[in-house]
Chains A and B, each alone.
Chain A
Amino acid sequence: MTRYTRLTAAAVLLILVAAALIFVYAPEDYLQKEPQRIFYLHVSAAIAAFACFAVVLVASVVYLRTDSASADRLARAAALVGVVLTTVTLVMGMLYAKAIWGMFWTWDARLTSTLVLWIIYAGYLMLRRLAEPGRQAARFAAVVGIFGFIDVPIVYFSVTWWRTQHPGPVIVNDALPPAMLLTFLVTMACTLFLAAVMVAIRYRIETLMDEAPSAAGVSLPSIAQHEPEPAR
């Protein structure tokens, strides 16, 4: 059993603990009934995605300043995991919306800005796949990674800046009863751990691909093949 398999097993175990809290411990919401339980993972996945995109931002700044291949790899890894988590947020959100509002989608500010966030980072990943490998592509992707993050505060504040169908913040407004708040906090911590494990695995994959791209049977744009990591 490798270190990464053990980390994955730990993350899955923690998610099962969160699931027990969500389905057994947390009380049923008086108004929304059963579908309210979607909230716990829907919001946690969104927060974990924001954290991944923050990692892309920091790693991209570091890459532009130092030309570090490791920072570029970390940005690639975090962007992919961020897109996966945003997909979970959107899919769960659509099913939550159907249960509560009676429709899967509405073009309100929160939903639209989240979809834009997904498109920005999916575009970032596509750029990494399609662009000619090299320093130029990595630098361009870093700029996209930095400017793409502008949408994160827009997603977060959209419910206060504009009148939206999506509910406003419930955590900071102290709107959750203690049992629900505890369930949410545990779910969020477990999801953040899962996201960290996913980034660590992807970072290792990117490293191995940079070292031997032919072994993967795919050719990812890599700066490591073109330039050595600068001495620190």
Chain B
Amino acid sequence: MIYLVAAYASAVLILGGYLAWSLRQLSELSRGADRK
């Protein structure tokens, strides 16, 4: 059971972390582009 939880927790961490980072980067870049 511990490996099942660890496997899905790590998947959520990797995919969720990547998505959050991407969306933040996108919103910063979009704001910069709008200001120009």
Q: Chain A interface (Cβ within 8 Å of chain B)?
A: 2, 4-5, 8, 19, 34-35, 37-38, 41-42, 45, 84, 87-88, 91-92, 95-96, 98-99, 194, 198, 201-202, 204-205, 208-209, 211-212, 215-216
Q: Which label, helix, strand, loop or mixed, suits the secondary structure of the B interface?
A: helix
29 contacting pairs across A/B (C-beta < 8 A): A2-B26, A2-B27, A2-B30, A34-B1, A35-B3, A35-B4, A38-B3, A84-B18, A87-B14, A88-B11, A91-B11, A95-B10, A98-B3, A99-B3, A99-B4, A198-B19, A198-B22, A201-B23, A201-B26, A204-B26, A205-B26, A208-B32, A208-B33, A212-B29, A212-B36, A215-B28, A215-B29, A215-B32, A216-B28
- A95-B3 in contact (CB<8A): yes
Bound form: Cα–Cα A202–B32 in Å: 16
B interface residues with partner A (beta carbon < 8 Å): 1, 3-4, 6-8, 10-11, 14-15, 18-19, 22-23, 25-30, 32-33, 36
